[in-house]
Structure 1
Amino acid sequence: MFSPTFGLAEIKTEVFSIGTLVEAIFTTVENLSGSTFIEAIYTAVYSPTFGLAEIKTEVFSIGTLVEGIYTAIYSPTFGLEEIKTEVFQILKQSFSQDLTTGIAQRDNPNNNDDFYVEVLNNRTATVSVTLTVFDFSSGTGISALGTPTLLTIGPGNVIEFASLNLNATVLNRYEVTLTNVTDGIYIWSAFRLASGELSPANTFRAGEFVPLLP
């Protein structure tokens, strides 16, 4: 009510301004003779700047602009439907990919450490993914631990790949990859130390696997 922007005081000021403007218009009209008044109206109507012709031109331009916007929105090539289709394809691709841990350094390796990979299938159908563990201990990555191996997981199930009692010289630097991973597949990988604890540096949760680029 008392706002300086849109309260009573501002409303009163605007009403007063409108009243002053209307009063000025009526004063001007009263001072015009009949022929002068008609001439003034004629001049305004046919003015090339703000008369009927200009109004018609501007309305036509607005109509053309609206038509162009409508055409763009519903275009089968680059309209909303096409955008939605492309976004869906991008999302579909992001959930159908190969994943990797990237290169990892085995933290404080000891004899008798155990290595695990577990894959959860939250889909309603059986899926198969290929697991490969690469050993970079000698510099060049070579597949290790009997991989690549095909893991077939039923709907709602978890499958575990384990290699127990690893020698301290194995997988000092390593990478875990899984191919043909789709939406609803979640992966976990870790080293369990001889003490029974998981190695924090070598624990990879589902969100820490990244796309494996060619």
Structure 2
Amino acid sequence: MSEEFLPSLFEAFARERNTTDGKIAGTGLGMPIIKKYIDMMYGTIEVESKQGEGSKFTVTLEYRIADKSYYERATEKFSDMDETRISGKHILLAEDNDLNAEIAQFILEDMGLMVDRVEDGVQCVSRIEQKPAGTYDLILMDIQMPNMDGYRATEMIRGLSDKDKATIPIIAMTANAFEEDRKKALAKGMNGHIAKPVDAEKVEKTICSVLGSQSEQ
């Protein structure tokens, strides 16, 4: 990378050369996603680069050293999660923001989940209507989307004549993070609520809880 490009490196969709000129595939979202993750962990990332010579990235994260009791709790936690076995489940992600969708998809696929994405509530309802019941195990639903928001999309899915489709688990994944927002999501027929920016551990815990409760019914 040239030194002139560095100020734009962490901007979404920024590329020093376009795909046609450079013949290199990519969306320009990789570095913004990394920067967002580091910001969430209150860290810093610095980069030095000279075209034709190479690039140097320096990431600084501060962590406390965990004591023995932490590792004992962590072992118990992951044993419980393993019993629920979410790996291989098929998720429908309804998210209009490309960067948020990339981050969510990365987190979900890292858990072993399969992910399809739609960009608004209209597409989400249409996908559920068109696909056979059981195609998806769960919907992660953004709330603020164009054309149809997540609340309305949930209401329409819950009203479908095919009861197997109408009862698919739906989890709100939204920047609306207050307790009243969680209560509203549940009142609209959702099964859970995850606040943005998403935390991988919280996402996994919520999905395990929702799918686990469904299997017990």
Fold in common (TM above 0.5): no
TM-score for both structures, normalised by structure 1: 0.20
Larger strand share, 1 or 2? 1
TM-score for both structures, normalised by structure 2: 0.20
Larger helix share, 1 or 2? 2
